[in-house]
Structure 1
């Protein structure tokens, strides 16, 4: 058990550090090739911060543990709202601008509704995985179109601009090293989580919805808390929305295209909780344009109650 716990912690550390190096390297390469900082933030950085979920889900599916792969995405999306967004709101009110409310927030709600629809027969097929990837391409193309019209948005540009001093050679090493850390970290994390879960008599679905999903959400949590301390709430909400969209379209899309995914022990209750959290966040921002400590505390309480229900 102690060895499994050590593997779990080692996996979390490698996943977090690997994602950070991958973000830095890919952003620096994109900047050096002339892509706008805003577009990098909307695409490269958003995808890179979801890379732990992608690597863990693919590895789990290849090992025949599709319940962990699907549970990782569902649990991560719930954690992004019930844990990450809640933690940010407890630190500083998170504001949702009018354009974000009308555009990106509905896209996130629609994205998290897709697994609810696709898993009606308990399976995400290769065809459905490819369809998710087509939606991902459409989403990125849409962001490219918006980026050309919204170059005045400096929040993401400033974040990515911090990597402008990194040389191409060093950036390439970051990408290679970060990818290696993600691979090794995912193996260690999966091994530790599965061993601990089985020792406690917990199903693979619950392992994916709890241990694995929280672990792979740590990069988003660290980034979001840091942004909240700096009162960059636009970045906070953007990270969460982008992560949830990419988790469904990229992580489930790529994983299901490689190998069809069975729902395993992931029930419609779990899928409904994911959709409900997204709808609640949407309704809060529809009522008022910022989320403060009260709603942050309620979100966190609901998330902890869901975890308790899973583990009982």
Structure 2
């Protein structure tokens, strides 16, 4: 990690907020660009969200995770990765505020239910491996982390193969309000090459300012005295999840609901598979061995919020409280409970 000039706590907070604003703007722009490119090249928006948008918005997590692994910081790697899962899922709950009804009412295919199911599977497998403590180790790398990578590859293959399938179709769907198409992004007249270059520039901005967010979050952890464990699972996870937050909210505001859902589930899958390259770089033993209680808590809360949305995707007509679906309310409550739990075991 490169050296940055010394700053006071107030200055660190100010630079953190400035970087957050830049990431927010770049993430929102990337959502508009991805939506327009999906229309131009006739790609399913759920697929664009799962494979393109989730990977682009996960760039800060990738850089942070691998850097922390090289620095042999097990807690920072795992708390950052797993702590962001419940947070990013809570983003979908907050997105109900901008959606025309509960966001889980909109998918017309079973893709998103399959995404959530595979995410539950991967979270459960990771939780089991964490509690077993990596009983099989080869060259300092736990076979459990390799198994997680294999499941991830299989999950992406299955989701890609299933994308064009119509062997399961939900019925009795609520009728969503009509949307303005093409989405009002101001990109209708922009050429394809310009769209692609703007998307690349947005990705570079997300990576650059995302890393600055991470650096200042780490500095705030030291200067505030809260410690890297609690900050890693809260502030740092929020910092690296900010691209997913901004892109998802922007996608919902232009009516690209399926892209927003796939972006979050896809990003959560990526955060789990990053355990494998982190384990390779972490040379102090298997990275999933001798973990803190906060790691198991983060995985458990990730399971809960994902399962809630899986239920929401299956139960199409559900009660609402104001603009929020009942599933989103439960996800927000669970996320707030997770923050209290993290503080308790810090």
Q: Do both proteins adopt the same fold according to a TM-score greater than 0.5, normalized to the shorter chain? A: yes
Instruction: Check the 8 A contact 2:78/2:295 in 1, yes or no.
Output: no
CA shift, 1:87, in A, is 0.5
Report the counterpart of residue 77 of structure 2 in structure 1.
Answer: 69
Per-residue CA deviations over 1:35-94 (Å, capped at 9, x if unaligned) read: 95655444222321222222222222223322122112211110122x202102344311
Which of residues 299, 302, 306 is equivalent to 2:331? 299
Instruction: Check the 8 A contact 1:7/1:191 in 2, yes or no.
Output: no
Instruction: Check the 8 A contact 1:108/1:244 in 2, yes or no.
Output: yes
Q: Secondary structure at the match of 1:261?
A: coil
Tell me if 1:247 matches 2:262: no
Distance of aligned partners of 1:299 and 1:148 in 2 relative to their CA distance in 1, 3 Å threshold: closer
Tell me if 1:133 matches 2:149: yes
Tell me if 1:9 matches 2:9: no
**Runs (5+) with no aligned partner, structure 1:** none
Distance of aligned partners of 1:114 and 1:208 in 2 relative to their CA distance in 1, 3 Å threshold: farther
Q: Secondary structure at the match of 1:266?
A: helix
Cα distance in 1 for residues equivalent to 2:188 and 2:147 = 34
Q: Secondary structure at the match of 1:103?
A: helix
CA shift, 1:289, in A, is 5.0
Q: Give TM-score, length-normalised by structure 2.
A: 0.70
Report the counterpart of residue 298 of structure 2 in structure 1.
Answer: 270
Aligned-residue CA RMSD (Å): 3.8
Which of residues 93, 98, 102 is equivalent to 1:93? 102
Which of residues 71, 86, 92 is equivalent to 1:78? 86
Paired residues, number: 302
Q: Secondary structure at the match of 1:281?
A: helix
CA shift, 1:116, in A, is 0.8
Cα distance in 1 for residues equivalent to 2:64 and 2:86 = 17
Cα distance in 2 for residues equivalent to 1:247 and 1:281 = 18
Q: Give TM-score, length-normalised by structure 1.
A: 0.77
Higher helix share: 1
Distance of aligned partners of 1:304 and 1:132 in 2 relative to their CA distance in 1, 3 Å threshold: same
CA shift, 1:16, in A, is 4.3
Instruction: Check the 8 A contact 1:128/1:256 in 2, yes or no.
Output: no
Tell me if 1:257 matches 2:244: no
Instruction: Check the 8 A contact 1:22/1:174 in 2, yes or no.
Output: yes
CA shift, 1:291, in A, is 7.4
CA shift, 1:228, in A, is 3.0
Instruction: Check the 8 A contact 1:76/1:209 in 2, yes or no.
Output: yes
Cα distance in 2 for residues equivalent to 1:105 and 1:76 = 16
Runs of 4+ in 1 over 6 A off after TM superposition: 20-32
Larger radius of gyration: 2
Report the counterpart of residue 160 of structure 2 in structure 1.
Answer: 144
Cα distance in 2 for residues equivalent to 1:228 and 1:116 = 31
